[in-house]
Amino acid sequence: MKLLVTGCTGFIGTALLERLRNEPGLTVRGAVRREVELPEGVGRVQVGEVSPETDWRSALAGVEAVVHLAARVHVMGDTAADPLAAFRHVNVGGTLNLARQAAAAGVGRIVYLSSVKVNGETGSFSEGDPVSPKDAYAISKHEAESGLREIAGRAGMELVVVRPPLVYGAGVGANFARLMRAVERGVPLPLGMVHNRRSLVALENLVDFIVTCTSHPAAAGRTFFVSDSEDLSTTELIRRLGRAMGRPARLIPVPPAWLMTVATLAGRRDDARRLLGTLEVDISRARQLLGWEPPIGVDEGLRQASNGWA
Protein backbone atom coordinates (compact mmCIF):
# COMPACT_ATOMS: atom_id res chain seq x y z
CA MET A 1 0.00 0.00 0.00
CA LYS A 2 1.21 3.52 -0.81
CA LEU A 3 0.51 5.95 2.04
CA LEU A 4 0.76 9.74 2.21
CA VAL A 5 1.34 11.45 5.58
CA THR A 6 0.78 15.18 6.03
CA GLY A 7 2.19 17.06 9.01
CA CYS A 8 5.00 14.51 9.00
CA THR A 9 7.64 16.76 10.60
CA GLY A 10 5.58 17.54 13.71
CA PHE A 11 5.55 15.89 17.12
CA ILE A 12 3.19 13.09 16.07
CA GLY A 13 4.20 12.94 12.41
CA THR A 14 7.89 12.38 13.13
CA ALA A 15 7.11 9.39 15.36
CA LEU A 16 4.60 8.05 12.85
CA LEU A 17 7.11 8.10 9.98
CA GLU A 18 9.66 6.24 12.10
CA ARG A 19 7.08 3.53 12.72
CA LEU A 20 5.69 3.38 9.18
CA ARG A 21 9.03 3.07 7.41
CA ASN A 22 9.52 -0.28 9.11
CA GLU A 23 6.05 -1.61 8.29
CA PRO A 24 6.12 -4.41 5.71
CA GLY A 25 4.22 -3.85 2.49
CA LEU A 26 4.07 -0.06 2.86
CA THR A 27 5.49 2.65 0.64
CA VAL A 28 5.43 5.90 2.63
CA ARG A 29 5.50 9.45 1.30
CA GLY A 30 5.67 12.57 3.47
CA ALA A 31 4.17 15.89 2.39
CA VAL A 32 6.32 18.80 3.59
CA ARG A 33 6.08 22.58 3.46
CA ARG A 34 9.76 23.15 2.66
CA GLU A 35 12.92 21.19 1.94
CA VAL A 36 13.63 19.02 4.99
CA GLU A 37 15.22 15.64 5.59
CA LEU A 38 12.88 12.73 6.23
CA PRO A 39 13.83 9.26 7.54
CA GLU A 40 15.58 6.91 5.15
CA GLY A 41 13.11 5.01 3.03
CA VAL A 42 10.41 7.71 3.17
CA GLY A 43 9.59 9.60 0.00
CA ARG A 44 9.18 13.36 0.10
CA VAL A 45 7.06 15.82 -1.84
CA GLN A 46 7.00 19.56 -1.18
CA VAL A 47 3.51 21.07 -1.19
CA GLY A 48 4.01 24.36 0.68
CA GLU A 49 1.51 25.64 3.22
CA VAL A 50 -1.74 23.76 3.78
CA SER A 51 -4.53 26.00 2.53
CA PRO A 52 -7.67 25.90 0.39
CA GLU A 53 -5.40 26.49 -2.64
CA THR A 54 -2.70 23.85 -2.05
CA ASP A 55 -1.99 21.67 -5.08
CA TRP A 56 -1.81 18.07 -3.85
CA ARG A 57 -1.71 16.31 -7.23
CA SER A 58 1.94 15.25 -7.15
CA ALA A 59 1.68 14.17 -3.51
CA LEU A 60 -1.40 12.06 -4.17
CA ALA A 61 -0.21 10.32 -7.33
CA GLY A 62 -0.63 6.57 -6.83
CA VAL A 63 -1.58 6.95 -3.16
CA GLU A 64 -4.10 4.55 -1.67
CA ALA A 65 -4.50 6.06 1.80
CA VAL A 66 -3.80 9.42 3.47
CA VAL A 67 -3.04 10.14 7.12
CA HIS A 68 -3.85 13.83 7.60
CA LEU A 69 -2.05 15.27 10.61
CA ALA A 70 -1.24 18.75 9.31
CA ALA A 71 -3.20 21.44 11.13
CA ARG A 72 -3.10 24.82 12.75
CA VAL A 73 -2.80 23.60 16.31
CA HIS A 74 -4.38 24.90 19.49
CA VAL A 75 -2.07 27.39 21.19
CA MET A 76 -2.33 29.43 24.37
CA GLY A 77 -2.40 33.20 23.87
CA ASP A 78 -3.27 33.10 20.16
CA THR A 79 -2.31 36.43 18.56
CA ALA A 80 -4.35 36.07 15.36
CA ALA A 81 -6.74 38.98 14.80
CA ASP A 82 -9.52 36.51 14.03
CA PRO A 83 -8.53 33.12 15.51
CA LEU A 84 -11.56 31.26 14.16
CA ALA A 85 -10.89 32.48 10.60
CA ALA A 86 -7.23 31.47 10.93
CA PHE A 87 -8.13 27.99 12.17
CA ARG A 88 -10.78 27.56 9.48
CA HIS A 89 -8.36 28.56 6.72
CA VAL A 90 -6.02 25.64 7.47
CA ASN A 91 -8.08 23.11 9.40
CA VAL A 92 -11.29 23.36 7.38
CA GLY A 93 -10.43 24.88 4.01
CA GLY A 94 -7.05 23.17 3.77
CA THR A 95 -8.37 19.79 4.91
CA LEU A 96 -11.40 19.74 2.61
CA ASN A 97 -9.28 20.85 -0.34
CA LEU A 98 -7.01 17.85 0.29
CA ALA A 99 -10.03 15.55 0.62
CA ARG A 100 -11.56 16.68 -2.67
CA GLN A 101 -8.28 16.16 -4.51
CA ALA A 102 -7.78 12.80 -2.80
CA ALA A 103 -11.20 11.67 -3.95
CA ALA A 104 -10.43 12.78 -7.51
CA ALA A 105 -7.13 10.86 -7.38
CA GLY A 106 -8.88 7.65 -6.32
CA VAL A 107 -7.57 7.53 -2.75
CA GLY A 108 -9.43 4.81 -0.86
CA ARG A 109 -9.12 5.99 2.74
CA ILE A 110 -8.35 9.10 4.79
CA VAL A 111 -7.37 8.84 8.45
CA TYR A 112 -8.02 12.24 10.02
CA LEU A 113 -6.48 13.28 13.32
CA SER A 114 -9.09 15.39 15.11
CA SER A 115 -9.31 16.13 18.86
CA VAL A 116 -11.32 15.22 21.94
CA LYS A 117 -11.96 18.96 22.21
CA VAL A 118 -14.66 18.44 19.56
CA ASN A 119 -16.68 16.80 22.33
CA GLY A 120 -15.93 19.44 24.96
CA GLU A 121 -13.44 20.60 27.53
CA THR A 122 -14.63 18.48 30.44
CA GLY A 123 -16.74 15.35 30.87
CA SER A 124 -16.74 11.62 30.20
CA PHE A 125 -17.15 10.88 26.50
CA SER A 126 -17.93 8.02 24.16
CA GLU A 127 -18.15 8.26 20.38
CA GLY A 128 -21.94 8.53 20.24
CA ASP A 129 -22.14 11.55 22.56
CA PRO A 130 -23.20 14.95 21.21
CA VAL A 131 -20.34 17.23 20.27
CA SER A 132 -19.76 20.55 22.04
CA PRO A 133 -16.68 22.35 20.68
CA LYS A 134 -15.92 25.43 22.76
CA ASP A 135 -12.97 27.28 21.24
CA ALA A 136 -11.91 28.23 17.71
CA TYR A 137 -9.59 25.25 17.32
CA ALA A 138 -12.26 22.74 18.38
CA ILE A 139 -14.88 24.37 16.16
CA SER A 140 -12.55 24.12 13.16
CA LYS A 141 -11.86 20.46 13.87
CA HIS A 142 -15.58 19.70 14.12
CA GLU A 143 -16.32 21.54 10.88
CA ALA A 144 -13.50 19.64 9.16
CA GLU A 145 -14.93 16.31 10.36
CA SER A 146 -18.37 17.23 9.01
CA GLY A 147 -16.99 18.33 5.66
CA LEU A 148 -14.86 15.21 5.34
CA ARG A 149 -17.86 12.98 5.96
CA GLU A 150 -19.79 14.73 3.22
CA ILE A 151 -16.94 14.48 0.69
CA ALA A 152 -16.15 10.87 1.58
CA GLY A 153 -19.81 9.91 1.37
CA ARG A 154 -20.19 11.37 -2.12
CA ALA A 155 -16.96 9.86 -3.40
CA GLY A 156 -17.25 6.43 -1.78
CA MET A 157 -14.00 7.11 0.05
CA GLU A 158 -13.45 5.59 3.50
CA LEU A 159 -12.98 8.06 6.37
CA VAL A 160 -11.58 7.28 9.81
CA VAL A 161 -11.66 10.03 12.45
CA VAL A 162 -9.42 9.80 15.51
CA ARG A 163 -10.05 12.07 18.51
CA PRO A 164 -7.12 11.83 20.93
CA PRO A 165 -6.92 13.51 24.33
CA LEU A 166 -3.62 15.03 25.51
CA VAL A 167 -0.69 13.35 23.75
CA TYR A 168 2.65 13.03 25.56
CA GLY A 169 5.98 11.48 24.71
CA ALA A 170 9.55 12.28 23.75
CA GLY A 171 9.67 15.84 22.45
CA VAL A 172 6.33 16.91 23.91
CA GLY A 173 5.79 20.65 24.27
CA ALA A 174 3.16 23.10 25.53
CA ASN A 175 1.53 22.53 28.93
CA PHE A 176 2.98 19.06 29.46
CA ALA A 177 6.50 20.37 28.91
CA ARG A 178 5.87 23.14 31.43
CA LEU A 179 4.68 20.57 33.95
CA MET A 180 7.81 18.48 33.39
CA ARG A 181 9.99 21.55 33.85
CA ALA A 182 8.29 22.33 37.15
CA VAL A 183 8.81 18.77 38.41
CA GLU A 184 12.43 18.76 37.28
CA ARG A 185 13.13 22.02 39.11
CA GLY A 186 11.34 20.89 42.27
CA VAL A 187 8.75 23.67 42.09
CA PRO A 188 6.07 23.22 44.80
CA LEU A 189 2.74 22.61 43.06
CA PRO A 190 -0.58 23.26 44.87
CA LEU A 191 -2.15 20.18 43.25
CA GLY A 192 -2.01 17.60 46.00
CA MET A 193 -5.79 17.28 46.46
CA VAL A 194 -7.06 17.00 42.87
CA HIS A 195 -9.27 13.91 42.49
CA ASN A 196 -10.34 14.36 38.88
CA ARG A 197 -9.92 11.82 36.07
CA ARG A 198 -7.95 12.62 32.92
CA SER A 199 -7.41 10.45 29.87
CA LEU A 200 -4.06 10.75 28.13
CA VAL A 201 -2.41 8.90 25.28
CA ALA A 202 1.29 8.12 24.98
CA LEU A 203 2.80 8.99 21.62
CA GLU A 204 3.71 5.35 20.96
CA ASN A 205 0.11 4.28 21.62
CA LEU A 206 -1.35 6.95 19.35
CA VAL A 207 1.04 6.05 16.53
CA ASP A 208 0.16 2.37 16.88
CA PHE A 209 -3.54 3.21 16.71
CA ILE A 210 -3.12 5.40 13.63
CA VAL A 211 -1.24 2.58 11.88
CA THR A 212 -4.10 0.20 12.74
CA CYS A 213 -6.62 2.66 11.29
CA THR A 214 -4.82 2.91 7.95
CA SER A 215 -5.83 -0.60 6.91
CA HIS A 216 -8.24 -2.29 9.34
CA PRO A 217 -11.50 -2.99 7.44
CA ALA A 218 -13.70 -2.32 10.49
CA ALA A 219 -12.28 1.19 10.94
CA ALA A 220 -13.95 2.51 7.78
CA GLY A 221 -16.56 5.19 8.43
CA ARG A 222 -15.90 5.27 12.17
CA THR A 223 -14.91 7.83 14.78
CA PHE A 224 -12.63 6.62 17.55
CA PHE A 225 -11.30 7.78 20.86
CA VAL A 226 -7.85 6.55 21.83
CA SER A 227 -6.09 6.60 25.19
CA ASP A 228 -3.70 4.70 27.44
CA SER A 229 -6.71 3.00 29.06
CA GLU A 230 -5.70 4.22 32.51
CA ASP A 231 -7.18 7.54 33.57
CA LEU A 232 -5.29 9.49 36.22
CA SER A 233 -6.01 12.37 38.54
CA THR A 234 -3.75 15.38 38.09
CA THR A 235 -2.24 14.60 41.49
CA GLU A 236 -1.42 11.00 40.52
CA LEU A 237 -0.09 12.08 37.12
CA ILE A 238 2.40 14.44 38.75
CA ARG A 239 3.49 11.79 41.27
CA ARG A 240 4.12 9.23 38.54
CA LEU A 241 5.79 11.80 36.32
CA GLY A 242 8.14 12.58 39.19
CA ARG A 243 9.00 8.88 39.54
CA ALA A 244 9.65 8.61 35.82
CA MET A 245 11.95 11.63 35.95
CA GLY A 246 13.72 10.51 39.13
CA ARG A 247 12.51 13.63 40.93
CA PRO A 248 10.29 13.89 44.00
CA ALA A 249 7.02 15.60 43.11
CA ARG A 250 6.51 18.45 45.55
CA LEU A 251 2.73 18.56 45.95
CA ILE A 252 0.95 20.92 48.33
CA PRO A 253 -2.59 19.87 49.38
CA VAL A 254 -4.82 22.80 48.43
CA PRO A 255 -8.60 22.35 47.93
CA PRO A 256 -9.44 22.53 44.21
CA ALA A 257 -12.27 25.00 44.89
CA TRP A 258 -9.72 27.45 46.28
CA LEU A 259 -7.51 26.99 43.23
CA MET A 260 -10.42 27.61 40.89
CA THR A 261 -11.38 30.78 42.75
CA VAL A 262 -7.86 32.16 42.61
CA ALA A 263 -7.48 31.22 38.94
CA THR A 264 -10.80 32.88 38.07
CA LEU A 265 -9.76 36.10 39.80
CA ALA A 266 -6.46 36.00 37.91
CA GLY A 267 -8.19 35.44 34.56
CA ARG A 268 -6.84 31.87 34.27
CA ARG A 269 -10.05 29.91 34.70
CA ASP A 270 -9.54 27.88 31.51
CA ASP A 271 -6.04 26.86 32.59
CA ALA A 272 -7.33 25.76 35.99
CA ARG A 273 -10.17 23.80 34.41
CA ARG A 274 -7.66 21.76 32.40
CA LEU A 275 -5.77 20.87 35.56
CA LEU A 276 -8.74 20.36 37.86
CA GLY A 277 -11.55 19.10 35.64
CA THR A 278 -12.35 15.59 34.46
CA LEU A 279 -11.92 14.58 30.83
CA GLU A 280 -12.29 10.85 30.18
CA VAL A 281 -12.73 8.98 26.92
CA ASP A 282 -14.13 5.50 26.38
CA ILE A 283 -12.03 3.36 24.02
CA SER A 284 -14.45 0.43 23.94
CA ARG A 285 -15.12 0.88 20.23
CA ALA A 286 -11.42 0.59 19.38
CA ARG A 287 -11.18 -2.56 21.47
CA GLN A 288 -14.33 -4.22 20.19
CA LEU A 289 -14.14 -3.33 16.48
CA LEU A 290 -10.39 -3.30 15.94
CA GLY A 291 -9.15 -5.57 18.70
CA TRP A 292 -6.78 -2.78 19.68
CA GLU A 293 -5.03 -2.44 23.03
CA PRO A 294 -2.44 0.18 24.01
CA PRO A 295 1.02 -1.37 23.48
CA ILE A 296 2.50 0.44 26.49
CA GLY A 297 1.18 1.65 29.84
CA VAL A 298 1.24 5.10 31.39
CA ASP A 299 4.46 4.56 33.35
CA GLU A 300 6.37 3.47 30.26
CA GLY A 301 4.91 6.39 28.34
CA LEU A 302 6.04 8.80 31.05
CA ARG A 303 9.48 7.18 31.09
CA GLN A 304 9.79 7.73 27.33
CA ALA A 305 8.66 11.33 27.70
CA SER A 306 11.18 11.95 30.48
CA ASN A 307 13.99 10.35 28.45
CA GLY A 308 13.14 12.64 25.57
CA TRP A 309 13.08 15.56 28.00
CA ALA A 310 16.58 14.78 29.28
Q: Identify which of 135, 112, 120, 308 has the alpha carbon closest to the alpha carbon of residue 219.
A: 112
| pLDDT value of position 75 | 64
What's the fold here for domain 169-201+228-310? UDP-galactose 4-epimerase; domain 1 (3.90.25)
Task: Tell me the mean pLDDT per 10 residues along the chain, length 310.
Answer: 95 95 90 88 91 96 97 72 92 98 98 97 93 95 98 98 96 88 94 95 98 97 97 96 94 93 86 89 97 97 83
For the domain spanning 2-163, the CATH number is 3.40.50.720
Question: pLDDT tens, 112-124?
Answer: 999 999 999 999 9
pTM of the model: 0.94
| pLDDT value of position 78 | 61
Of the listed 87, 137, 225, 309, which one is catalytic? 137
Cα of first residue to Cα of last residue in the chain, in angstroms, is 37
137 in catalytic set: yes
Q: Which residues contact 71 (CB under 8 A, 6 or more apart)?
A: 7, 50, 90, 91, 95, 113, 141
- For the chain, the structural domain boundaries read 2-163, 169-201+228-310
| pLDDT value of position 199 | 97
Q: How would you class 177 by CB atoms within 10 Å of its CB: exposed for 0-12, middle for 13-18, buried for 19 or more?
A: middle
| pLDDT value of position 36 | 86
Neighbours of 113 (CB within 10 A): 24
